[in-house]
Amino acid sequence: MDGALNSFLLLSNFVLVPGMAYGSQLAIGALGVTLVYGILRFSNFAHGDTMAFGTMAVILVTWLLQAWGVSISPLPTALLALPFGILATIVLLLLTDRWVYRFFRREKAAPVVFLIASVGVMFVMNGVVRFIIGPNDQRFADGERFIIKAREFKRLTGMNEGVAFKTSQGLTIVTAVIVVAALFWFLNRTRAGKSMRAYSDNEDLALLSGINPERVVMITWILAAALATIAGTLYGLDKSFKPFTYFQLLLPIFASAIVGGLGNPLGAIAGGFIIAFSEVTVTYAYKKFLAYNLPPDWAPDSLMQLLSTDYKFAVSFVILVLVLLIRPTGIFRGKAI
Amino acid sequence: MKKLLIGTSMAAMAAIAAFAVTAASAEDIKLGVILGYTGPIESLTPDMAAGAELAIKEVSMSGALLGGSKVMPVRGDTTCTDSAAATAATERLVTSDKIKAIVGGDCSGVTTAMLQNVALANGIVMISPSATSPALSSIEDNGLFFRTAPSDARQGQVLTAILKEKGVKSAALTYTNNDYGKGLANSIKMNFEKAGGKITISAAHEDGKADYTAEVGALAAAGGDVLIVAGYLDQGGKGIIQAALDTGAFETFVLPDGMIGDSLPMAIGADLNGSYGTVPGTDSPGAAKFGDMAKAAGFKAGPFASESYDAAALIMLAMQAAGSSESKMFKSKIIGVANAPGTKIYPGELAKALKIIAGGGEVDYVGASAVELIGPGESAGNYREILVSGGKNTTAKFR
């Protein structure tokens, strides 16, 4: 019995808790991608770098607040800075739309043209972020680092295995729940949200019933900016901020959105957790876990690791390819690409 | 008319030749200082470059090199990880800036690329202050490559000795996935297992990721008394240690040279206290003297700064010994000026050394890092044992 409990704690420490946090971060990121796809009908490759830009804005405001001595300890100061970061990102996205995407919309350009334009936007944003804050790691987390430390957990419970629960992980999960609830409330209960869904379902019908398309597009960018900044900040708090890793995040985020079904918000959330947990579970070494559950002489000598951690990114690739082959619309029947 | 033409052209050629001769006796020599100013060891390279440039300035001011030649440093960026970028930067310095020799590269992978792609093709001498991969000992170099840093084969032995003294029986090992990491990890594993220890896992990690929980999960599953992190302090190495502490997987870390620097204890905090490691270093009088000189010049004698000073100094002393700033002429003189016999030369005495050589005497350059070149031209290796205590790297002893 003790063995089973210990093995569960072990798994929680290395798989469940990090997987939940990573999954939430991916889910919020994928929601942004999926919204833009649903309304504007193109895959926004600049989303990763939008996240980087938003996080950068949050970091700069955080530093300012820290310099002024403002703090909401034990919570990280970045939470206070978050609204300012979102505002900055909204301005950026609306300007990008004005300068880049609106032109292509008027031209009624094909989705692939938008997609390539978004690649260009991605490189520009990437450059802007590096220019302003530099290519290096930035740490901006402050406040209490842990809700419970592994060592304390062991002392309190007397178990062999400890579970560490970081403040950033707790914050991520709580924020993800709030953000998702607020988004669904907005989409299902408000006029603006309903007009967005109508526009997404059938553009012509929506136009006929008097929905202003430019307004729908504007709201979409505002939501995308808010989601990107929140996802980026949570990821940065939990891990670390570096422009290049945000660029790399694009792959798992897209995998999440596509696996769930592009254009489908529920699917984005499910996809986020599927990708996060498959990355973590496939590369975890189960040696100790089995040792707790099996009779002593059966305990394995090898690491019992399916894939080396080097292949973490490959996991999301493989899932992406499988889903596109077997069920191109994704699990929740989004749009086929 | 024809005669006149021939006559003028011959006169012109003679003039050029005469000019060339005077140029050889006093010229402006450019030295490349090619290190990773951006990338995983960017917190170390400013001090390393300052070390090399201090030696260059010292020689230039003395006016004793090759009849009063001036030496100019030219910086190039290796990025430490991107071989293509390092090759391009070196190529540019060699072909357009016309550098005569190179202090660099820094990380083993890019150093190999620079040597094979540029230095060999152009016959340029390279002295690396910090490339420590064992593979560089046996590389084909036409006698052009040297290093003032010891091979990691030696570091493996030293680390094993420390682990044995501390009573460590088993250890998990993770290394950065490049030539430096692999070479060092192999050397540690081989030496430690020969001494009766057990390496439970030897796993690579990639630099530049935001999250290392999965890597630490595998290391924790394998277990061990300590975790040996053969990585970089500003990169994956730091991430691994942070994740291992966060999840409570390991408490004591063993830190080879790539992990020694002030930024690591500062970033991790009190949890790193009690961890230990090694970095090339010596308690010879040269090291202390170099420390004072560095302080006066406004930089810190950080890891590999003294090796960088020595690398630049050796190049210039060898030029003096060969009477030429051309790599093909002075490459054979480097081992001679570095090793006995001769007058021992410490940092700050480069002018004296140049005069001794000019007068036909011999020097044994000791320098800031007690240089003794062995084998194919690499430092024999003196190590400083580091203990992290009170949030700082402190020197436990010299080996």
Q: Give tens-digit pLDDT for B99-158.
A: 999 998 899 999 999 999 999 999 999 999 999 888 888 888 989 999 998 888 888 888
Question: Do the domain assignments include residue B256?
Answer: yes
Q: Give tens-digit pLDDT for B26-73.
A: 789 999 999 999 888 888 899 999 999 999 999 999 989 988 899 999
| Cα distance between residue B242 and residue B229, in whole Å | 12
pLDDT of the residue at A217: 93
B6 pLDDT higher than 70: no
Extract the runs of DSSP E, i.e. beta strands, from chain B.
Answer: 28-35, 70-77, 101-104, 125-128, 145-150, 170-176, 198-205, 226-230, 253-255, 276-280, 343-345, 363-365, 373-374, 378-379, 383-389, 392-398
| Cα distance between residue A14 and residue B39, in whole Å | 29
Are residues B391 and B263 part of one domain?
A: yes
Domain of B173 in residue numbering reads as 153-282+382-398
Question: Do the domain assignments include residue B145?
Answer: yes
Test mutation, B211, B216, B238, chain A, max A CBs within 10 A = B211
Question: Could you tell me how many residues make up chain A?
Answer: 337
User: H-helix or E-strand containing A165?
Assistant: strand A165-166
Are residues B240 and B127 part of one domain?
A: no
CA-based nearest residue in chain B for residue A309: B215
Are residues B361 and B308 part of one domain?
A: yes
A239 → closest Cβ in B204, B211, B248: B211
Are residues B240 and B389 part of one domain?
A: yes
CA-based nearest residue in chain B for residue A246: B210
Of A84-88, B221-225, B323-327, the one with minimum mean pLDDT is B221-225
| Residue A181 CB neighbours (<10 A) | 10
| Cα distance between residue B248 and residue A288, in whole Å | 15
- CATH number for the domain harbouring residue B99: 3.40.50.2300
CA B300 to chain centre: 16
Domain spans in chain A, listed from the N-terminal domain onward: 2-326
What is the nearest CA distance from A138 to chain B, expressed in angstroms? 11
Residue B151 DSSP symbol? P
Are residues B94 and B76 part of one domain?
A: yes
Are residues B266 and B180 part of one domain?
A: yes
Q: How confident is the model at residue A92 (pLDDT cuts 50, 70, 90)?
A: very high
CB within 8 Å: B177 and A310: yes
Are residues B111 and B47 part of one domain?
A: yes
B382 pLDDT higher than 90: no
User: H-helix or E-strand containing A147?
Assistant: strand A146-148
| Cα distance between residue A194 and residue A208, in whole Å | 15
CA distances for A228 relative to A50, A98, A186, B150, B260, angstroms: 6, 19, 17, 48, 36
- What is the average pLDDT value for chain A, to the nearest integer? 89
Could you identify the residue written with the tokens 């991608």?
A: A33
Question: Do the domain assignments include residue B14?
Answer: no
Over residues A92-120, mean pLDDT: 93
pLDDT of the residue at B22: 41
Q: Single out the residue of A3, A7, A11, A21 nearest to residue A281, CA to CA.
A: A11
pLDDT of the residue at B127: 95
| Cα distance between residue B208 and residue B80, in whole Å | 13
As a whole-number percent, the residues of chain A with pLDDT over 70 amount to 99
Alpha helices (H) in B175-228, listed in sequence order: 179-194, 213-222
CA-based nearest residue in chain A for residue B247: A164
Output B350 or A283, whichever has higher pLDDT.
B350
| Cα distance between residue B187 and residue B152, in whole Å | 7
Are residues B193 and B85 part of one domain?
A: no
pLDDT of the residue at A300: 74
CA distances for B398 relative to A138, B162, B386, angstroms: 35, 11, 9
A59 pLDDT higher than 80: yes
Enter the pTM of the model.
Answer: 0.73
Of A26-40, A75-89, B280-294, the one with minimum mean pLDDT is B280-294
CA-based nearest residue in chain A for residue B243: A239
Name B246's Cβ contacts closer than 8 Å, sequence gap at least 6: A146, A150, A164, A166, B213
pLDDT of the residue at B12: 53
pLDDT of the residue at B24: 46
B13 pLDDT higher than 70: no
| Cα distance between residue B290 and residue B368, in whole Å | 6
Q: How confident is the model at residue B19 (pLDDT cuts 50, 70, 90)?
A: very low
Q: Give tens-digit pLDDT for B197-234.
A: 888 888 889 887 878 888 888 888 888 889 999 988 88
Are residues B179 and B271 part of one domain?
A: yes
**Distance in Å from the first CA to the final CA of chain B:** 77
Test mutation, A156, A309, A315, A316, chain B, max B CBs within 10 A = A309
Test mutation, A7, A11, A14, chain B, max B CBs within 10 A = A14
Question: Do the domain assignments include residue B6?
Answer: no
Over residues A147-165, mean pLDDT: 83
- What is the average pLDDT value for chain B, to the nearest integer? 87
B208 touching A (Cβ < 8 Å): yes
Are residues B219 and B160 part of one domain?
A: yes
A312 → closest Cβ in B214, B216, B246: B214
What is the nearest CA distance from B193 to chain A, expressed in angstroms? 18
pLDDT of the residue at B398: 81
Instruction: Classify domain A2-326 at the CATH topology level.
Output: ABC transporter involved in vitamin B12 uptake, BtuC (1.10.3470)
Q: How would DSSP label each residue in A30-79?
A: HHHHHHHHHHH-S--TTHHHHHHHHHHHHHHHHHHHHHHT--BTTB-THH
B233 touching A (Cβ < 8 Å): no
Residues in chain A with CB shorter than 8 Å from the CB of B221 are: 284-289, 303-305
Q: Single out the residue of A308, A209, A220 nearest to residue A38, CA to CA.
A: A220
Question: Do the domain assignments include residue B211?
Answer: yes
Are residues B90 and B51 part of one domain?
A: yes
CB within 8 Å: A14 and B247: yes
| Cα distance between residue A66 and residue A87, in whole Å | 19
Are residues B260 and B345 part of one domain?
A: no
CA distances for A181 relative to A187, A254, A266, angstroms: 10, 22, 11
Residues in chain A with CB shorter than 8 Å from the CB of B218 are: 283-285, 303, 305, 308-309
Residue B264 DSSP symbol? H
- Total count of domains within chain B: 2
Question: Do the domain assignments include residue B363?
Answer: yes
Q: Single out the residue of A90, A21, A30 nearest to residue A272, CA to CA.
A: A30
Residues in chain A with CB shorter than 8 Å from the CB of B213 are: 14, 18, 280
Token pair, residue A192, equals: 């603006």
CA distances for B220 relative to A18, A177, A286, B189, B235, angstroms: 15, 31, 10, 18, 20
pLDDT of the residue at B9: 56
Q: Collapse the DSSP code of B214 into the 3-class scheme (helix H, G, I; strand E, B; otherwise coil) and give the result.
A: helix
B270 touching A (Cβ < 8 Å): no
Test mutation, B38, B42, B206, B213, chain A, max A CBs within 10 A = B213
B218 → closest Cβ in A137, A239, A305: A305
Asked if the peptide bond before residue A210 counts as cis, ω within 30 degrees of 0, the response is no
What is the nearest CA distance from B242 to chain A, expressed in angstroms? 10
